[in-house]
């Protein structure tokens, strides 16, 4: 396991290398408003905590934050496995995303946490995840830098965008690569059919 003493110093050097001023600034209010705009091709079910996309050209806004903030923002209850941090997509917490094979997803990631770095990546490797999820990333399909937390005094957040392609049917997950976050349940499920 990677949780020993020698792993800690190696981890801090990785974190120094991967954090910093990453992401484009935007107003927190803008991010919250963007997240409330659901495209016509997205069928959002709060009952199933799922979003079915009826287009192969998909755009999503993925917000990262602590579970309490997510519950306040959405008015819904985080899944039981989400211990600390969560994603909010189209007003749902860690929803299952149902995509069509051959889809391209334009991901706009915004960190709305007040204190922690986050990112969102796609993998075909399912939970449980280790403290350093990199070690279980045989199925990594996308990568992005960690984005700094929001500044609630200045009402400013940071975003980072990229495209992910799903060329084969199957099961995938989106998760945060920051050490410990996926291990503590910062992930959601993707079904490509």
Residues that bind Cu ion (CB under 5 A): 118, 176, 178, 181, 186
C-alpha to C-alpha distance for 101 and 61, rounded to whole angstroms: 20
Q: Which residue is nearest to Cu ion (CB)?
A: 176
C-alpha to C-alpha distance for 97 and 4, rounded to whole angstroms: 36
**What is the nearest approach in angstroms of Cu ion to the Cβ of residue 189?**
17
Nearer to Cu ion, 74 or 111 (CB): 111
C-alpha to C-alpha distance for 156 and 71, rounded to whole angstroms: 21
Which whole-number Å values give the CA distances from 181 to 29, 87, 100, 106, 192, in the listed order? 25, 11, 28, 23, 24
Nearer to Cu ion, 129 or 166 (CB): 129
Nearer to Cu ion, 84 or 100 (CB): 84
**What is the nearest approach in angstroms of Cu ion to the Cβ of residue 178?**
4
Nearer to Cu ion, 60 or 82 (CB): 82
**What is the nearest approach in angstroms of Cu ion to the Cβ of residue 113?**
8
**What is the nearest approach in angstroms of Cu ion to the Cβ of residue 101?**
28
C-alpha to C-alpha distance for 147 and 153, rounded to whole angstroms: 18
C-alpha to C-alpha distance for 137 and 123, rounded to whole angstroms: 7
């Amino acid at each position: 396991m990677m949780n020993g003493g020698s792993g800690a110093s190696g981890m801090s050097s990785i974190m120094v290398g991967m954090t910093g001023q990453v992401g484009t600034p935007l107003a927190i209010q803008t991010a919250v408003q963007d997240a409330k705009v659901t495209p016509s091709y997205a069928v959002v079910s709060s009952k199933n905590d799922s979003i079915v996309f009826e287009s192969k050209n998909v755009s999503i806004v993925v917000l990262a934050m602590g579970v309490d903030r997510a519950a306040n923002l959405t008015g819904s209850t985080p899944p039981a496995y989400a211990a600390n941090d969560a994603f909010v997509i189209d007003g749902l917490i860690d929803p299952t995303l149902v995509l069509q094979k051959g889809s391209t997803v334009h991901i706009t990631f915004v960190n709305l946490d007040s204190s922690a770095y986050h990112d969102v990546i796609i993998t075909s490797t399912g939970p449980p995840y280790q403290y350093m999820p990199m070690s279980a990333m045989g199925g990594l399909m996308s990568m992005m830098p960690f984005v700094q937390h929001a500044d609630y005094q200045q009402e400013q957040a940071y975003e980072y965008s990229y495209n992910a392609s799903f060329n084969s049917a199957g099961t995938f997950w989106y998760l945060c690569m920051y050490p410990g976050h996926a291990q503590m349940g910062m992930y959601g499920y993707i079904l490509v059919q």
